[in-house]
């Protein structure tokens, strides 16, 4: 079930009722969830759960969920959205245990509603990798996606992330949404390059979601050789070189034969 992402007033009436009725609450960090429960005046048993927890922990939770009310929360927001829970829900469903959802706050959706960027199609891409090369590979993979992109990020890294995205995705509008629902909530907008310059030497404090506009139809994103190779490596996991080359060439206005030759060379490397 979802819990607030900063403002404790955002807990839903249903989340409160189910937490109060739960026989057991599985959470990431007992101290964090304990604080929420104290705020709500609820006292229920807590147990730690992560997707990398031992399979026996998961099996015990599922056995209990078959006969009792077991609630799953993460530290903040919606479980499973860059948080634990997926393996537990999958295993519970496989075991025939009833699973219900208690929706509520999630930073990704909150940021999308604040950014002023298209909302008709969006792709949530979780956290960007730590290393610049890996970040640029992810950006290349997403460059042709005709949807608003949503990333989770951190203050110390946001300047470098923006610079990498600006380099690979080109002149797109973006928004840095920070400390959502909290006292210092803000949403700063600009092009990726403008935002990269703003945060280069001034890392912002607090929690951050980065929202990036879809590609402009009129201007296909220019990819350098490294970005073409990275995009091809990602596409070749799922499709043959001919299709990978055709898709990438069409999206970025590239010469199809040249991209196909790269795709074949990369395939042969494996």
Of positions 32, 42, 69, 81, contacts ligand SAM by CB under 6 A: 81
Q: Which residue is nearest to ligand SAM (CB)?
A: 77
Report the site for ligand SAM in 98-137 (rule: CB under 6 A). Answer: 106-108
CB of 123 to ligand SAM, least distance (A): 16
CB of 9 to ligand SAM, least distance (A): 13
CB of 104 to ligand SAM, least distance (A): 9
Of positions 176, 208, 212, 259, contacts ligand SAM by CB under 6 A: 208
Residue 212 binds ligand SAM, judged by CB under 6 A:
no
Please identify, using beta-carbon distances, which residue of 176 and 196 lies nearer to ligand SAM.
Answer: 176
Residue 199 binds ligand SAM, judged by CB under 6 A:
no
* The three-state (H, E, C) secondary structure of the chain, written as one string: CCECCCCHHHCCHHHHHHHHHCCEEEECCHHHHHHHHHHHCCCCCEEECCCCCCHHHHHHHHHHHCCCCEEECCCCECCCCCCCCHHHHHHHHHCCCCCCCCCCCCHHHHHHHHHCCCCCCEEEEEECCCCHHHHHHHHHHHCCCCCEEEEEEEHHHHHHHHHHHHHHHCCCEEEEEECCCCCCCEEEEEEHHHHHHHHHCCCCCCEEEEEECCCCCCCCCCCCHHHHHHHHHHHHCCCCHHHHHHHHHHHHCCCHHHHHHHHHHHHHHC
CA dist 110 and 202 (Å) reads: 24
Residue 181 binds ligand SAM, judged by CB under 6 A:
yes
Of positions 74, 140, 148, 161, contacts ligand SAM by CB under 6 A: 74
CB of 231 to ligand SAM, least distance (A): 25
CB of 77 to ligand SAM, least distance (A): 2
Of positions 11, 19, 209, 236, contacts ligand SAM by CB under 6 A: 209
Question: In the complex, which residues of this chain contact ligand SAM (CB under 6 A)?
Answer: 5-6, 74, 76-78, 81-83, 106-108, 152-154, 177-182, 207-209
């Amino acid at each position: 079930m979802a819990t607030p992402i900063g403002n404790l007033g955002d807990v839903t009436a249903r989340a409160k009722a189910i937490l109060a009725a739960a026989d057991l609450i599985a959470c990431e960090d007992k101290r964090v969830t304990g604080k929420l429960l104290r705020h709500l005046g609820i006292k229920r048993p807590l147990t730690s759960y992560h997707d990398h927890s031992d399979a026996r922990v998961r099996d015990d939770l599922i056995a209990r969920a078959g006969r009792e009310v077991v609630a799953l929360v993460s530290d903040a927001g919606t479980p499973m959205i860059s948080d634990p829970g997926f393996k537990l829900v999958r295993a519970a469903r496989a075991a025939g245990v009833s699973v219900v959802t208690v929706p509520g706050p999630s930073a990704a959706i909150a940021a999308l509603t604040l950014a002023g960027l298209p909302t008709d199609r969006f792709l949530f891409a979780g956290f960007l990798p730590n290393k610049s090369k890996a970040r640029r590979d992810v950006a290349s993979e997403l460059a042709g996606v005709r949807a608003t992109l949503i990333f989770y990020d951190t203050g110390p890294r946001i300047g470098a992330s923006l610079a990498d995205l600006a380099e690979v995705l080109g002149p797109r509008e973006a928004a840095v949404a920070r400390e959502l629902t909290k006292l210092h909530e803000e949403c700063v907008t600009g092009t990726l390059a403008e935002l990269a310059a703003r945060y280069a030497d001034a890392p912002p404090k607090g929690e951050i979601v980065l929202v990036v506009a879809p590609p402009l139809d009129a201007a296909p994103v220019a990819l350098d050789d490294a970005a073409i190779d990275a995009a091809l490596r990602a596409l070749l996991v799922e499709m043959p070189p001919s299709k990978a080359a055709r898709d990438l060439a069409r999206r970025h206005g590239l010469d199809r034969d040249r991209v196909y030759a790269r795709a074949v060379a990369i395939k042969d490397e494996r």
